[in-house]
């Protein structure tokens, strides 16, 4: 599989991993591979990881890695936790998505829609 490269080495997921002293390349690859879904192909996942949301996702993943959780498990646990939350009215506004959509899935869907419109 061709893993898209970050376009935001200073911020987002990649930059946060670097700032926290982690192997950003390895964590990036694990995150992209772990988040790919029918709604979110690799390109959508990469855009998500480059956003401010990706920075916060990195904080959660890195904290687990620092606590001794394997990288792939840390990504999966973080994704599951983020999907326990709901998108909410503010983020859902202007999309066809209901506010009750799981948070991470909703963010990916919003990014996919924005990429289609561009």
**What is the structure's pLDDT at 39?**
80
Which of residues 118 and 48 earns the better pLDDT score?
48
- The confidence band for 38, taking pLDDT boundaries of 50, 70 and 90, is confident
**What is the structure's pLDDT at 94?**
81
Decide: 40 and 107 in contact? Cβ < 8 Å.
no
**What is the structure's pLDDT at 33?**
96
Residue identified by tokens 């772990």 is 34
Give tens-digit pLDDT for 4-36.
999 999 999 999 999 999 999 999 999 999 999
Whether the CA torsion 73, 75, 78, 84 is positive or negative: it is: negative
Query: Mean pLDDT across the stretch 88-111?
Result: 92
CA distance 93 to 75: 28
CA distance 34 to 18: 19
Decide: 55 and 48 in contact? Cβ < 8 Å.
no
**What is the structure's pLDDT at 41?**
95
Give tens-digit pLDDT for 56-92.
999 999 999 999 999 999 999 999 999 999 999 988 8
């Amino acid at each position: 599989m061709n893993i898209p490269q970050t376009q935001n080495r200073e911020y987002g997921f990649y930059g946060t991993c670097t700032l926290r002293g982690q192997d950003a390349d390895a964590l990036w690859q694990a995150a992209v591979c772990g988040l790919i879904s029918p709604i979110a192909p690799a390109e959508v996942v990469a855009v998500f990881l480059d956003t401010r949301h990706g920075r916060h996702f990195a904080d959660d993943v890195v904290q687990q890695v620092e606590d001794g959780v394997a990288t792939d498990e840390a990504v999966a646990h973080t994704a599951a936790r983020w999907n326990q939350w709901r998108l909410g009215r503010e983020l859902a506004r202007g999309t066809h998505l209901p506010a009750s959509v799981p948070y991470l899935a909703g963010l990916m869907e919003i990014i996919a829609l924005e990429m289609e419109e561009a």
